[in-house]
Structure 1
Amino acid sequence: MCGIAGWVDFERDLRADRELVEAMTNCLERRGPDARGTWLDAHVGLGHTRNSVIDLVGGTQPMVAEEDGRTLAVLTYSGEVYNFRQLRGELETRGHRFRTRSDTEVVLRAYLEWGVDCAKRIEGMFAFAVWDVRKQELVLIRDRMGIKPLIVAEVDGGLMFASEPKSLLATGRVRPVVDTEGMRELFSTAKTPGRTVFRDMRELKAGHTLVFSRSGVREQRYWAIEAHPHTDDLPTTIDTVRGLLEEIVTRELVADVPLCTTLSGGIDSSAVTALAALARRRAGDQPIRSITATFVGYSENFRPDDQRDTPDAPYAAALARHVGTEHTDVVLGTADLIDPAARKAALVAQDQPSTLGDMDISLYLMLKATREHSTVALTGEVSDEIFGGFKWLFDEELVSADMFPWIAAEKRHAGGQIGQGRGLFARGLLDKLDMTGYYQDNFRQTVAETPHPDGQTELDRTIRVRLYAHLTRWLPMLLDRADRLAMASSLETRVPFCDHRLVQYVYNVPWAFKTFDGREKSLLRAAVKDLVPQVVMDRPKSPYPVTQDPRYAEALHREMAAVLADPSSPVLPLLDVAAAQRAIGDRTPVANQWHSRVNVETALQFDAWLRHYGIELAL
C-alpha cells in the first residue's frame, strides 16, 4: 500500500513547482515509509510514497515505461492487484518484457496494452494515475468497490489528485473550505458517492475512470453491481461461496512481508482467519498470526449494551485455539484512549472529525500495535454488507421504513431525533443542515439506482434496496475509515469479503437463501461451518467494542469543560453551549451509554479539527 499524488496543468510549466509536488508527496509519508519519489515534466508532476509489500527492491515509483529511449508513460500506483501473475503471463505472450517481480509493473504494462480498459482486467484494490506521454493526458482509475481512496480537485484549469485530502491542502491552492453540503457529509452515516467534506474536493467514484487532457475531463464508469436471476440451488450456492472465499483469501495472502489477520471472534473475521490458517497449512507455511483489540478488565467486567451482548476476546481466543494461530491480544487502557497524541493522530489520519468516538482511537491504536510485527493485515470487514448481518435487517419496522434502516434504528436511541454525535450542536445549525431532508434525498436516489432482477418477491425487492444501500452508502465510510487509520501506521489492510466477484454473486442470492436457517449471515456460516468452532458459530453479531471504563467519560468531560471555558475555542459558535454544560455537569456518567458520551467526543473532535486545519466554514 502506498500514497499517490499529482498535478497536471497544461497552462504552466510544473518543473518550476517541484517543491509544491514534493510537499504533496511528503504529506503521505505514513502511507509509504519505505521510499519516496517524484517525477516531473512540463505540464505534470507525480509523487509517490511506498510501503513495500511485493518485490521489495523492484517496485520503486513513479515507474517509467520506455521504448527505444523514449518515455511512453509514467505510473504512480497504490494498492494490490491480486491477479497480477495471470496478467503478467498474458502480457508476456503479447510481447511485453518485465524487469521486476512487482504488480506495479504489471499495472503499467496493462495500461500500455489496453489503455483505460485495463481497469476491467485488473482485480484487487487500487487507485492509480498514469501520465500518458504519447497522448499528453492523465488517466485516473479507482477499484470497483472503492477500497482505495482517490481525491481530486480542479484548480485554475488544472487537476490535482491524491490519496488523502491533506496532500491537496498542502499545496495552498486548495483551501480547507467546508460548506453546508460538507457539514452534512461530516454528520452523515450515509455517504453521498463522490462527495468529500471539503467544498473544492471530490472523490473519483468507485469503479470509475477519469481522463484529463487539453479538451477537459472525461469520467466513465467501468463496473457496477448488476442484477441477475439466481439459478443455483441452496447447496450449490453454499459451495460457490466457499469456493470463492478459499480462492480470495489464498491469493490475498501473497506478500513478501509479515502478514496477519485482525480477529474479533465474530463469524466474519473468524471465517477469514480460519481460511487463512487452512491455506497456510495446505502450503506448508508457518501458522497465521491473529490480533484482537480489547480493554483492560473488559472481559471480566463486561456489561451488555444495546448493541453488544458479549466481549470479543474469549471468542477470538476460542477461534485462535481451534485453527492454531499465533494469537496476540492488544490490551488498551483508558490512559491510551485519552492520550492527546493518539487522539490527534486518529483525527489527522482521517482529515475530519468522526461521530464514532473511542472506536476510532482504539482502532488506530490496535492497528498501530499490529504494525509492530506485520505489514499486512486481512480483516473481516464487508461481510455484514453482502451477507446481511445487521440486526436492523431483521426488524420489520426498520426494514419497511421509507429511509435507510440504520437511520431508522438511530432514531430509536435516546437523542436519536437529533442524530448520532450531533447532540451538543446548536439547533439553528442543525435546522439549516436539515439532515432529515438530506437522508430522504439520498435514500430516494438509492432506491432509484438499485438494480433488480426479474421475478423477485416484494420482500426481496425491499431487502435488495437496503443491501444496495449498505454497499454504496454505508460501506464507503467504513472503507475510508479503515484505510486512513491503518495507513496512519503504514499498515496495509486487505478486505477479502470486498472482492467484486463475491459481492456480485451474493448480491443476487435471494433473501430466503441468505437467512435459510433463520439467522443473519446463514450462507457464510454454512460455508465455513467445518472450520469454525460452534461457540463462534452461535455468537450473535457484536459491533466493534467500546470502552466501559467511566474514567474515560470523566476525562472527556474535563476536556470539554476546558473548551467551554476558552472563549477562543473555534467550536463554540457551532454548539448549544447550555446543552454542553449540562452534559459535562453530569457527575455520574454511565460507562456504557455510548450514544450519550459520543456527543461530547464529537464536539471535542470538531474543535481540534477546526484548530488544526484552519477550517473556513461557509455555512
Structure 2
Amino acid sequence: MCGIAGWVDLERDVRAEQAAARAMTGTMALRGPDAEGLWVREHVAFGHRRLAVIDLAGGAQPMVVEEDGREIAAITYSGELYNYRELRDELRDRGHRFRTESDTEVALRAYVEWGEDFVDLLNGMYAFGVWDVRREKLVLVRDRMGVKPLYYYRTADGAVLFASEPKAIFAHPLAEAVVDADGLRELFALVKTPGHGVYRGLREVIPGETVRVSRDGVHRRRYWRPSYAEHRDDLGTTVRTVRGLLDDIVARQTIADVPLCALLSGGLDSSAITALAHAALTARGEGPLRSFAVDFAGQAEHFTPDAFRPTPDAPYVHALAGHVGTTHQDIVLDAGDLMDPLDRAAVIDAADLPTFGGDIFTSLYLLFRAVREHSTVALSGEAADEVFGGYSWFHTPETVGADTFPWLVMAEADLTALDTGLQAELDVPGYRAQAYRDALAEVEHGDDPDPRNRRMREISYLHLTRFVRILLDRKDRMSMAHGLEVRVPYCDHRLVQYVYNTPWSMKTFDGREKSLLRAATADALPESVVQRVKSPYPVTQDPEYERALRETLERVATDSPAAPLLDPGLAGHPTRRSAEQALSLDVWMRREPVRVLV
C-alpha cells in the first residue's frame, strides 16, 4: 500500500531543498508506518512511506532501474498489482533481470519496456509516479476504478506537486490550502466530480487516467472507463462467468506476505467475498480466514427496521462465520466511542476534509483500528452494489426516472447546517444539475435500441464513476490512517466491464437486486444470507448518541470558526444530519491550515 509524494520542477534545481520533499512525505507516516524513503535529482524529488505487504525485505522505495550503470527511471508507488507474477515472467522473457520479488519493480520495468502503454497491462489497485530520466518526464498513473487516491497541484511558478493525500501537497511551501465557493459546492454536492480536488488548484488524477508532465506541459489521457460492448452470453454462461471471475479475483487478492482478513457485514456482498477467500486460503493450506464485523452496544434493543435498513447485521454475520468456519470477532462500539473528540478529530485529519457521515466515518475508523491489531490486509465487499445494481434506487421507478443522480432522490442530501444566504449563493442544486448532464454525456450506448437498457446503463455508469468513489475514498482514508490495506475484489476491471454490459433483465432475472451475484455465489453461503434484503453500512440507533451530538453542538456553536458558514439558529433545532455537518466543519476549520473564501 503506502503513501507517495513528489515534486517536479523543470526550471529549478530542487536538490538543495530536500526539506520540502521530506516534509511532504512525513505527513503520511500513518499510511506507511514501516519505512521512509527519499530520492532526489536535479529536477525531481520523490518521497515514499511504506506499508510492507509484498517482499518485505526487498521492496524499499523509491525504486530505480539502471541500464549500463546509469539511472533510466524511478518510481514511487502505492498499491498492489494482482497480476505481477505473470508480468514479471513476461518481462524476464524479454531480458529484464529483477533484483526484488516486489510488484513495484514489475510496474517500473513494465514502463521501461512498454512506455506509457504499460497501463493497459496492469490489474490491481494502484497510484504512482514514474520519472523518466532520459526524457525528463513525469508520468502519474491511477487505477481504473480509483481505489487508490492520487492528487496533483500546479504551483504559480509552473512546478507540479503530487501525493496520495492533500495534506502532503499542502506541506510544501509553494502550495496553499484554499477552499472557495466552487470547492464548497463540490464538498456539499455528493456527486464526486471526476478530477475535482475541492481545494483550489488541487486536482485528482481521474481513475483510469495518466497525467504526463514534461517540458511540453501537462497532458492527461484516459486509458479506461466503463464502455459499451455487446453482451452475447446466455444467462447460464453469464452466471458461470461471474463466478469464474470472482474465484480468480479473490484468489489473487488473498496473496500477501502479512496477515490477511475479511470485513464481514452479513450481507450478500461481503459474505460472498469472505466465503470465497476462506476457500482460497484453505485450498492453499493457509486457513482459516479471520473475519471482523462492526456492531453497536445495545443495537439489539435499539434497532428499528425501516425501508432503508430492514435488518440488523449481527445474526447474518454470525450465520456466515459459522457456515464458512472463519475465526470471527465483533468490534462493538458505544456512543462514547463514537463521540470521542480525539477520534472524531483523527477522522477529519485522515480525510483532509469535513466528513458529513458522522458515526459512519467514526465507526469505520475505529473498526479499522481494531482490525489492524491482528491483520495488515483486509478484503472488503465494497462496490458490489454499484457493479451489480444493489441499491434500492436502482429498482424504484421514481429514482430511475428522475432527472438527477438517483441517490440524491433517496438520500438526505440537504444543506441544513448552512446559512440560507450562503446556500443561495452556492446554488448546489444547479451545480448538481450540471454535473449530472456532464456525466450522462460520457455514456456510450453503441447500437443498443432498448430504452430500458440504455437508462439502466446510465444509472450504472453514474454509480461506477461518481458514487462508488465517495465510498472508496472513505474506505481508503479511514483504513490507511491505521496502516491497513483494504482490497476491493468487486473493483477488478474485468468484472466491472463484463457486468456493466450485461442486460438489465439478466441482472434482475429473479426479480430481485443483485441477481447475478446471488446466483453465482449461493452455493457458498447459508440460505439466510442468500435471501437477505440489502441493508447498508450500519449506523447507531442509540438515542444517547444523538443527545451527545446536540450537546456538543451547543457548546461549540458560539465560538466556532465555521460560524460564518452556518445557520445562526442551528444549535436550537438541529437534525442529526445538520449537527454532523456543523460539527465536522467546526473540527476541520479548527485543525486544518485552510482558508475558506465565500
TM-score of the aligned structures, taking structure 1 as reference length = 0.95
**Number of the residue aligned with 1:591:** none
Q: Name the aligned partner's letter for residue 160 of structure 2.
A: L
Q: 1:603: how far off? A: 0.4
Task: Spell out the pairing of 1:444-593 with structure 2 (5 A cutoff).
Answer: 444-566=437-559, 569-583=560-574
1:606 matched to 2:585: yes
Q: 1:223: how far off? A: 1.4
CA deviations on 1:424-476 (whole Å, 9 max, x unpaired) are 21111111111111111111111111111423411111111111000111011
Q: What SS does the corresponding residue of 2:39 show, helix, strand or coil? A: strand
Q: Is the 8 A contact 2:227 2:443 kept in 1?
A: no
CA deviations on 1:382-440 (whole Å, 9 max, x unpaired) are 00001000101111111111111111223xxxxx5xx34x2121111111111111111
Inter-partner Cα distance in structure 1 for 2:417 and 2:78? 39
Q: 1:580: how far off? A: 2.9
CA deviations on 1:111-135 (whole Å, 9 max, x unpaired) are 1101111111111000111111111
Aligned length: 597
Q: 1:301: how far off? A: 3.4
Inter-partner Cα distance in structure 1 for 2:181 and 2:448? 42
1:344 matched to 2:323: no
Q: What SS does the corresponding residue of 1:30 show, helix, strand or coil? A: coil
Q: Name the aligned partner's letter for residue 394 of structure 1.
A: H
**Number of the residue aligned with 1:366:** 367
**Number of the residue aligned with 2:121:** 121
**Number of the residue aligned with 1:158:** 159
Q: 1:597: how far off? A: 0.6
Inter-partner Cα distance in structure 2 for 1:244 and 1:572? 51
Q: Name the aligned partner's letter for residue 592 of structure 2.
A: Y
Q: Is the 8 A contact 1:12 1:43 kept in 2?
A: yes
Inter-partner Cα distance in structure 2 for 1:37 and 1:259? 25
Q: Name the aligned partner's letter for residue 68 of structure 1.
A: D
Q: Name the aligned partner's letter for residue 488 of structure 1.
A: A
Q: What SS does the corresponding residue of 1:449 show, helix, strand or coil? A: coil
**Number of the residue aligned with 2:179:** 178
**Number of the residue aligned with 1:375:** 376
CA deviations on 1:210-264 (whole Å, 9 max, x unpaired) are 1111221111111121101111000000000000000000000000000000000
Q: Is the 8 A contact 1:424 1:580 kept in 2?
A: no
Please say which of residues 358-367 and 392-401 is displaced more in the overlay.
392-401
Task: Spell out the pairing of 1:324-339 with structure 2 (5 A cutoff).
Answer: 324-339=325-340
Inter-partner Cα distance in structure 2 for 1:337 and 1:518? 38
**Number of the residue aligned with 1:586:** none
Q: What SS does the corresponding residue of 1:528 show, helix, strand or coil? A: helix
Q: 1:306: how far off? A: 4.1
Q: Is the 8 A contact 2:39 2:47 kept in 1?
A: yes
Q: Is the 8 A contact 1:274 1:531 kept in 2?
A: yes
Inter-partner Cα distance in structure 2 for 1:64 and 1:284? 36
CA-atom RMSD in angstroms: 1.1
Inter-partner Cα distance in structure 2 for 1:365 and 1:441? 37
**Number of the residue aligned with 1:424:** 417
Inter-partner Cα distance in structure 1 for 2:289 and 2:301? 27
Q: Is the 8 A contact 2:54 2:256 kept in 1?
A: yes
**Number of the residue aligned with 2:319:** 318
Inter-partner Cα distance in structure 1 for 2:519 and 2:384? 14
Q: What SS does the corresponding residue of 1:21 show, helix, strand or coil? A: helix
Inter-partner Cα distance in structure 2 for 1:62 and 1:44? 12
Q: Name the aligned partner's letter for residue 374 of structure 2.
A: H
Q: Is the 8 A contact 1:186 1:354 kept in 2?
A: no
Q: 1:523: how far off? A: 0.3
Q: 1:171: how far off? A: 1.0
**Number of the residue aligned with 2:249:** 248
Q: Is the 8 A contact 1:424 1:577 kept in 2?
A: no
Q: Name the aligned partner's letter for residue 589 of structure 2.
A: L
Q: What SS does the corresponding residue of 1:290 show, helix, strand or coil? A: strand
1:231 matched to 2:224: no
Task: Spell out the pairing of 1:368-407 with structure 2 (5 A cutoff).
Answer: 368-407=369-408
**Number of the residue aligned with 1:413:** none
Q: What SS does the corresponding residue of 1:24 show, helix, strand or coil? A: helix
Q: What SS does the corresponding residue of 1:29 show, helix, strand or coil? A: coil
Q: 1:300: how far off? A: 4.0
Specify every segment of 5 or more residues in structure 1 that has no aligned partner in the other structure, as ranges.
411-415, 584-595
Q: What SS does the corresponding residue of 2:131 show, helix, strand or coil? A: strand
CA deviations on 1:338-382 (whole Å, 9 max, x unpaired) are 111110111111100122111000000001110110000000000
Q: Name the aligned partner's letter for residue 445 of structure 1.
A: D
Q: Is the 8 A contact 2:550 2:571 kept in 1?
A: no
Q: 1:614: how far off? A: 3.2
CA deviations on 1:107-158 (whole Å, 9 max, x unpaired) are 1111110111111111100011111111111111111111111100001211
Q: What SS does the corresponding residue of 2:564 show, helix, strand or coil? A: helix
**Number of the residue aligned with 2:94:** 94
CA deviations on 1:532-581 (whole Å, 9 max, x unpaired) are 11101111111111111111111111211111232xx2111111111332
Q: Is the 8 A contact 1:142 1:207 kept in 2?
A: yes
Q: Name the aligned partner's letter for residue 32 of structure 2.
A: G
Inter-partner Cα distance in structure 1 for 2:253 and 2:552? 43
Q: Name the aligned partner's letter for residue 554 of structure 1.
A: R
